[in-house]
Structure 1
Amino acid sequence: MSPHKQHAGDFARPDSLTDDEKTYLAMAAEGMHPSVIAKNLEKSEDDVQDALASARQKLGATNLLHAISIALLKGIIERDI
C-alpha cells in the first residue's frame, strides 16, 4: 500500500479542462453567478452549469469553490489579487 494519499486535484492537468471550462471557472472566481456568466457570454445557463460540473469532476472537487481553489493553486486559471 502506498503511503501517499490521493488528494483532490492530484490528477488535474491544465490541459484537461476545455477553454470554456477555464473561462467559466475564472469568471466564477471573480464572484459571477453562472446565470450572469451565461448572459455575459451569450450562452445558455445549462451549458455553463454543465461545463462547471464537468470541471469540478475533472479536478476531483466536491463543489464549485473547491474547484476554483484547485484551479487557482494548480495555475489552471489566474486571478489578480
Structure 2
Amino acid sequence: MKPLLFFLFLFSSSLYPVLSQSNLLETVKKNPNEAKNLCNKFREFNSKGISASSDKVIEYVSNKKKLTPVNAEIFSIYVIGLHCPDII
C-alpha cells in the first residue's frame, strides 16, 4: 500500500508544473492586450539589438510576471508565437 501511495504522490507532484504552465498560457489567451503590450516591449528590445529570447528579456519577463526564468521563457515563446510572430 505504501509504494502505491508514494507513486501517486510522485505522479501528482510531477503534474503541478505542467498544470501551472497551462494556467499561465491561459492568461495570455484571456488577456490579449497584455500580450500585445509585451510584444511592443519585445520590439523595443529588438530595436536596441536585443533578441526576445535573450537572458535580459527573459529576466525582464520573469520580474514583470513574477515567474521563474524557465516559465518566463515558456511564456515569452508562447506570446511571440501567438501574438507577435515578427519578433526574433
Higher radius of gyration, 1 or 2: 2
Report 1 or 2 for greater relative contact order, CA contacts < 8 Å, sequence distance ≥ 6. 1
More helix by share: 2
TM-score, normalised by the number of residues in structure 2: 0.38
TM-score, normalised by the number of residues in structure 1: 0.40
